[in-house]
Amino acid sequence: MEDVKNQTEELVDHLEELSGTFLKLVFVNVSQKVVVLAAALINAIFIYIASLFVLLFAAAGLAWWIGDVLDNHAAGFFIVAGLFLLVVLFIIVFRKKAIYPLLRNTIVRWIYE
């Protein structure tokens, strides 16, 4: 009887160690996912900011060039603004059919990597 009691106590001790190790493993896995996600998010923010500056200067250059061609800089800027308006309308029209599924699939793929 004493042998069964000792084995039960040892089993309980091993289960406690196993559960502690399992919790540590879960914490490490979650921490790793958070760190990878944070690094990717920071990288994406830097890329978006740099892309925004490139787009801003390219748009200003295009507007200035169109203004030089038309001898009216205001018209050049309004034409470029119209092009951006078309892009925004295109995004609004196709957001549910193309953009949301693409973003959703990208995020899910990104989480499970």
Whole-number CA gyration radius for the chain:
29
**What is the rounded CA–CA span in Å between residue 22 and residue 26?**
6
- CB 76: neighbour CB atoms within 10 A? 20
**What is the rounded CA–CA span in Å between residue 90 and residue 86?**
6
Chain segment 41-99, per-residue pLDDT in tens? 899 899 999 999 999 999 999 999 999 999 999 999 999 999 999 999 998 998 888 88
pLDDT of residue 84: 95
Q: Which residue has the higher pLDDT, 4 or 28?
A: 28
Which of the four pLDDT bands, split at 50, 70 and 90, describes residue 1? low
Contact between 75 and 66 under an 8 Å Cβ cutoff? The reply is yes
What pTM does this model have?
A: 0.61
